[in-house]
Chains A and B, each alone.
Chain A
Amino acid sequence: MADDMGKFGIEAVRLGSPNRRQFFQLGAGAAAGWSLAGSAIAQTERPTNPPDKPRGQVIAALSQEPTVFHPLMPGIEVDQGVWWQVFSLLWYIDPEGNFVPDLAREVPTIENGGLSADGLTWKIKLRNDVKWHDGTPFTAEDVKFSLELINDSNFRARSRVGHSLVKDIKVVAADEIHWRMEAPYSPYMSILGSLTFIVPKHILEKVSDPNASPFHNAPVGTGPFRWGERVPGDHILLNAHTGYHGKGPYVERVVFKYIPDLTVLYTQFRTGQVDYTGLQGILPNFVQEAKTLKGRKIFVSATSSVEHIAPNLEFGPFADRAVREALYLAINKQAIIDALYYGLPTQTESFVPQQAWSFQQGLPQHKYDPAKANALLDAAGWVRGSGGVREKGGVKLEFTNSTTSGNAVREQTQQLLIQDWRAIGAAMRVNNMPAAVIWGDFWQQSKFNSVLVSVNFMLGSDPDVTPRFGSGAIPAKGGRGYNTYQYKNPEADRLLAEGAKQFDLGQRKTTYGDLQKLIRNDLAILPMFQGFIAEGVKEGLQGFRPNINTSINCWNIREWYWA
């Protein structure tokens, strides 16, 4: 059945579904065959017989509350759930990684003349049948306004990465816009296709303060759903926009229900009060039980995030690559995955998700080998001192590891890491903090020894990790980025610079493949596994399509409908 297919062909887990091992095999097989079968799978996942006009409602439960409705302002993943419904992009990235035209008539390429060969001139042709929710026609002026707003010094824009390179924006016609880039920057295609939602000029140009206006709490977009109401702390209601320019929407209303406690959220899904469990989804410990629920389907999908141990490479022992390799060898990764994550995630060696076009196959695979780790440390001159802790040149092999306090599974992971590393003479202490603390200066200014964290390194679907691994992106050294690992490698800088100005996919694949090899070899991060999410959907609700290129899997509610 087409709608039983999860991301990349992973079958939805249902009553009588494969066991965990079989499930994993399915997932691995699907991942391996993804590049060949991607588009075919996408077709089979599309809704087959949606209703002629919107019918019914969907209650989507989220564990965080969406509060930022201006899609160009600082927001978190959960806010994107609303942005995707209310606004549109020039193009979006589908689950297979393809750019799909949305407000644009076609995606600009060098071949179709939308991009100049040097990547500096962009010419975008727009649809002329799009209307804002208030009936005003959408034009190229809206696109110009949106891009200029992002670069407006008074506007509290989320990010100007890529946008700051845009110069000389010219509206050629109501349905065509041109601009020049200060420097070639190929990831901009992905930046425009992931979170650069277009906002209405005719409304926002009239507000005196671009950071505060009625629009912020009652947004007007061109997306499949119109703003309905918000009951703070409870829910947001969106109504179908029947004049939507794309396919759908097929339901009359979408309700985003805010349920902060994940156990309570799962209970409400179990009792049928909500139709979909989003964002953090179902806790791993409930997944097995959830599979047995009647009238519910559980999808376990890969995400772009990579769970890893982030070493501060400027911190004593971690500056020594031999230490990082020994620590990596001594982690019993599979035991952690099986014992704490119920075998749901897959091991990875790269910062790129395994389903992406840029993923480098054949990276050295992690092997749990404490004996080799010990030998490596012996050879590197780290000798066991008092209490069995190794030291070298007066530096002890002891460090702290931090993560968000209250995250039970990560805290248990830390306990297993302590045991694994104690066996090779490394002493780890736990230093956990609340989210608002740990991700503040402690993380941003590299004040940690090591952190257990999950990070999505991708820019939409683009593997450009200059802000993460570029030597000029270290905040603790005044850099412009979030290279909190303090990773510095001239070869990585060269590859990053090269990749960012390449527009040929084959060339880029080689460049970012080399970069993945380099990062894996340097062990700039100690990757644990690729992120995953278990989401529940009520049986009969069709069209759910997880998308690894978005941060939230309810990106396409426009395609959802009740069978």
Chain B
Amino acid sequence: MARYVVNRLAQAVMLLVIVSAIGFALLHLAPGGPLSQFAVSGQMTQEDLDRVTRQLGLDRPLPIQYLDWFGRMLKGDWGKSYRDGEAVLSVISSHLGATLELMATATIIAVLLGCWIGILGALRRYSLFDSLATVGAMIALSIPTFWFGLVTIYVFSVKLGWLPAGNRQTIGDGSFLDLLHHLIAPAMVLALVETAMWGRFMRSSMLEVINQDYIRTARAKGMPEWRILTVHALRNALLPMITVAGLQFPTLLGGALVAETVFTWPGMGRLFLDSIGYRDYPVVMGILMFSATMVLIGSLLADILYAVVDPRIRVG
């Protein structure tokens, strides 16, 4: 098991190095730069732009810039944001809480609702509920998050006035209830696609399990249906969901990026978009490395957990 984990860790580190090199090259080779926003505003002459470029070290050859950045990153110095001069790790951490809050709420909604829909759909296969759930999932997976967010705002904020049209909190309030009030709409929007995915995976997994011989045997032995469902079927059906959970992070992060923009949620997704727009290289690279690490950790944990519960994986 230890060897398996070490192997997977080594692969993860290699992947991170590759991601950093490709990310750095793509980002820096893209036309434009951190100072291009000043060029059109007319506050800075070309001479000013050149001077600041030199001061930021952006006139050095790209490999030198990369090695410099990589070396400092290994020492824990992820650089400073070009926009506000804050340390990258501090910039990321100041946005992380909001994103985690949104993602965690959306995940809880998606897991509970998705699993319930999936289980019920599997148990009542081809019923009206199952058909509706299938159609609903297809619709949910097809709806653009941005559009759904705007519709949610229009219905619940503009028309009904039940929910705030955005923001994480009312400035000056910040109570738990206020936070919750603001969280409902974006979490609901972010959870939509996740719920559909969890529902579909859960249904398939559950179907596979309830058709197994041991379930039939349990039923033949006269075991109560609820016990068969919870003790035998559900536990086994949830196993493949470990992998699903591990691989959901990138999808969730992508969804959060859109939801945060629509709902003016001050999280990582919006920070990433803003930083790309400003060509804030240190922050973009920081978020890239952070996200890649999170994805790899998620996938690694899923693999390890799976290997723990199913020893055949380790052997394979």
Type the 1/0 row for B148-190, where 1 means its CB is closer than 8 Å to any CB of A.
0010011001100100111110011000000000000000000
Within 8 A of A (CB), among B25-64: 30-33, 35-49, 52, 55-56
Question: Once bound together, how far apart are the Cα atoms of A423 and B198, in whole Å?
Answer: 57
Chain B min CB distance to A80 (Å): 10
Chain B min CB distance to A63 (Å): 11
User: Which of B81-89, B244-252, B295-303 lies at the interface?
Assistant: B81-89
Known: A233-B266, A234-B266. A482 touches B32 (CB 8 A): no
Q: Which of A74, A233, A468 contacts B267 (CB 8 A)?
A: A233
B41 touches A259 (CB 8 A): no
A480: chain B residues at CB < 8 Å are 45-47
User: Which of B119-127, B210-218, B269-277 lies at the interface?
Assistant: B269-277
Chain A min CB distance to B170 (Å): 8
A211 touches B32 (CB 8 A): no
A233 touches B274 (CB 8 A): yes
Q: Which of A68, A233, A439 contacts B32 (CB 8 A)?
A: A439
Question: Once bound together, how far apart are the Cα atoms of A161 and B33, in whole Å?
Answer: 22
B85 touches A74 (CB 8 A): no
Q: Which of B44, B165, B172 contacts A74 (CB 8 A)?
A: B44
B42 touches A440 (CB 8 A): no
B157 touches A271 (CB 8 A): yes
Interface size on B, residues (CB 8 A): 59
Question: Once bound together, how far apart are the Cα atoms of A232 and B42, in whole Å?
Answer: 26
B166 touches A437 (CB 8 A): no
Known: A74-B35, A468-B42. A231 touches B266 (CB 8 A): yes
B32: chain A residues at CB < 8 Å are 434-442
B271 touches A233 (CB 8 A): yes
Chain B min CB distance to A307 (Å): 13
* Interface presence of B80 (CB below 8 A): yes
Q: Which residue of chain B has its CB nearest to the CB of A480?
A: B47
B166 touches A273 (CB 8 A): yes
Chain B min CB distance to A437 (Å): 4
Type the 1/0 row for A440-462, where 1 means its CB is closer than 8 Å to any CB of B.
11111000000001011100000
Question: Once bound together, how far apart are the Cα atoms of A246 and B295, in whole Å?
Answer: 54
B261 touches A439 (CB 8 A): no
Known: A212-B80, A232-B266, A233-B95. A159 touches B31 (CB 8 A): no
Q: Which of A271, A439, A473 contacts B165 (CB 8 A)?
A: A271
* Interface presence of A182 (CB below 8 A): no
* Interface presence of B264 (CB below 8 A): yes
B264 touches A260 (CB 8 A): yes
Question: Once bound together, how far apart are the Cα atoms of A561 and B54, in whole Å?
Answer: 45
B30 touches A159 (CB 8 A): no
Question: Once bound together, how far apart are the Cα atoms of A23 and B224, in whole Å?
Answer: 78
* Interface presence of B230 (CB below 8 A): no
Question: Once bound together, how far apart are the Cα atoms of A30 and B273, in whole Å?
Answer: 42
* Interface presence of B91 (CB below 8 A): yes
Q: Which residue of chain A has its CB nearest to the CB of B92?
A: A232
A74 touches B43 (CB 8 A): yes
Known: A232-B95, A482-B39. A435 touches B84 (CB 8 A): no
* Interface presence of B131 (CB below 8 A): no
B36 touches A258 (CB 8 A): no
Question: Once bound together, how far apart are the Cα atoms of A151 and B4, in whole Å?
Answer: 60
Question: Once bound together, how far apart are the Cα atoms of A273 and B52, in whole Å?
Answer: 39
A264 touches B262 (CB 8 A): yes
Chain A min CB distance to B142 (Å): 22
Type the 1/0 row for B223-256, where 1 means its CB is closer than 8 Å to any CB of A.
0000000000000000000000000000000000
28 example contacts (A-B, Cβ-Cβ < 8 A) are as follows A57-B171, A67-B83, A68-B84, A154-B55, A158-B48, A212-B80, A216-B85, A217-B84, A217-B86, A231-B94, A233-B270, A233-B271, A233-B274, A237-B171, A255-B171, A258-B266, A267-B166, A268-B166, A271-B158, A273-B167, A436-B37, A436-B278, A437-B32, A440-B36, A443-B36, A444-B49, A480-B46, A551-B41
Given A235-B171, A273-B164, output 13 extra A-B contacts at Cβ < 8 Å.
A158-B44, A161-B48, A212-B80, A216-B84, A217-B84, A267-B165, A268-B165, A436-B30, A442-B31, A444-B36, A455-B42, A480-B45, A482-B46
**Closest A-B pairs by Cβ, 5 of them:** A233-B266, A234-B266, A440-B32, A436-B32, A475-B46
* Residue positions of A touching B, CB distance < 8 A: 57, 59, 65, 67-69, 74-77, 154, 156-161, 195, 211-212, 216-217, 231-235, 237, 255, 257-261, 263-264, 267-268, 270-271, 273, 433-444, 453, 455-457, 467-468, 473, 475, 479-482, 551
